[in-house]
Amino acid sequence: MCNSVLQVDVIIPTQTKYLDLIGSIGEHIAKDIEHFSGDREALAYHLNLVLTEATTNAIKHSALMTPKDTVRITIHIQDNELNIKVYDHGQGFDLETVPLPDFDQPKENGMGLYFIRTLMDSVTYTKLDDCNVLEIIKHL
């Protein structure tokens, strides 16, 4: 009757030194998920990467606002769905206008969102009243 539920809620300063911590949480969760029959090592790397990229974006978007700004990250697992939300207080951007990387003429930037979109099942970016939220869903 009771499905296994995991909820993690973390708030960090907008500093890149916390990326390791956030990525590590993703890795640990992947290694502990119950009833997962896929490649656990690959999932661990992918969650580390997706959380790192999403948090980096949020820090970059927030950095110019106030030095005491924070980024909130929530991870929720229920009914074989993993849901990540990353909240930033920046000006926001239009996810739909972010292009795919040009593989024939690769550039140094612009690969982060590509990783998130490629490795996860759904990505949305929504502007709320007082913040923006990048929501990422992965079916386990």
Partner 1 sequence: MKINLEKIKDCSILFIQEERIDAHNSGELKEYILHLIEQGEVNIVVQLENVRFIDSSGLGALLSGYKNAAAKSGKLALVSCKPQVLSMFELTRLNRVFEIYADLNEAFENET
Q: Which residues bind partner 1 (CB under 8 A)?
A: 16-17, 19-20, 23, 41-42, 45, 48-49, 52-53, 56, 59, 101, 103, 106-112, 114-115, 118
Distance of CA 116 to the CA centre of its chain: 7
DSSP 70-123: EEEEEEEEETTEEEEEEEE-S----GGGPPPP-SSS--SSS-HHHHHHHHSSEE
Q: How far is the CB of 134 from partner 1 (least distance, A)?
A: 15
In the numeric block, which tokens belong to residue 67? Answer: 């030095």
Q: Which is nearer to partner 1, 36 or 45 (CB)?
A: 45
Q: Which is nearer to partner 1, 52 or 132 (CB)?
A: 52
Q: How far is the CB of 12 from partner 1 (least distance, A)?
A: 12
Closest CA to 61 of 14, 96, 100: 14
Q: Which is nearer to partner 1, 20 or 32 (CB)?
A: 20
Q: How far is the CB of 56 from partner 1 (least distance, A)?
A: 4
Q: Which is nearer to partner 1, 63 or 81 (CB)?
A: 63
Q: How far is the CB of 115 from partner 1 (least distance, A)?
A: 6
Q: Which is nearer to partner 1, 45 or 93 (CB)?
A: 45
- Sign for the CA dihedral angle at 39, 40, 41, 46 comes to positive
Q: How far is the CB of 38 from partner 1 (least distance, A)?
A: 15
Euclidean distance between CA atoms 46 and 30, whole angstroms: 9
